[in-house]
Amino acid sequence: MIYGKKYMQAPEKLLEKTNYTSEEYLELEVASDERHHYIDGKIILMPGGTPNHNKITGNLFSELYSALKRKPYEVFVTDLRVWIPEKRIYTYLDVMVVAGEVELAQGRNDTITNPMLVAEVLSKSTRSFDKDEKFAAYRTILTVKEYLLIDQYYQTSEN
């Protein structure tokens, strides 16, 4: 089942299905004006971000990009997917870092398979998914060394 608004230009009979192949998901995602997770046959609409979420994501990207400039790392933000084959998940994340050469999913130029650092800005609607299921899924990617969660609703005081 697709959760959220319907896909643009998607064949009607695909919209009626409750279980999709990864190929169907990728075809539908290209035609969509929204982003979706693919989780083992299910397509789930990603919630929209808040200005605060966007600001935190942009700041993290900027800091990582500056810190890793001229080093063998690539930093990416929001619009690239990650493929997690062991869990059959395609998902977007907020920021990721790849060490060395970027490895793309076969036949794709928008799906990375070798993130080293994965960062998520927590939202109320995705908090438990990001902390539990997504974390467990990311741990199956051999290249992932760090998982950074940023709580946009909690601020610590500096001493």
- pLDDT tens for 56-113 read 999 999 999 999 999 999 999 988 999 999 999 999 999 999 999 999 999 999 999 9
- pTM for the complete prediction? 0.82
Q: Please check whether residues 13 and 65 belong to one and the same domain.
A: no
Q: Please check whether residues 100 and 84 belong to one and the same domain.
A: yes
Name the band, by pLDDT with cuts 50, 70 and 90, for residue 9: very low
Residues β-bridged to residue 43: 2, 38
CATH of the domain at 144: 3.90.1570.10
Residue 8 covered by a domain = yes
Token pair for residue 153?
A: 């609703």
Residue 156 covered by a domain = no
Instruction: Please provide the average confidence, as pLDDT, over all residues in the chain.
Output: 86
* Arithmetic mean of pLDDT, 40-58: 89
Residue 157 covered by a domain = no
Q: Please check whether residues 24 and 62 belong to one and the same domain.
A: no
Q: Please check whether residues 94 and 135 belong to one and the same domain.
A: yes
* Arithmetic mean of pLDDT, 123-146: 91
E strands within the chain? 2-3, 36-39, 42-45, 73-77, 81-84, 89-92, 95-99, 111-112, 117-122, 146-151
Backbone dihedral region for residue 110 (phi beyond 0: left; psi -120 to 50: alpha; all else: beta): alpha
Q: Please check whether residues 19 and 89 belong to one and the same domain.
A: no
C-beta separation of 95 from 60 below 8 A: yes
Q: Which domain holds residue 30?
A: 2-45
pLDDT over 90 percentage in the chain: 63
Q: Please check whether residues 55 and 95 belong to one and the same domain.
A: yes
Residue 159 covered by a domain = no
Q: Please check whether residues 69 and 146 belong to one and the same domain.
A: yes
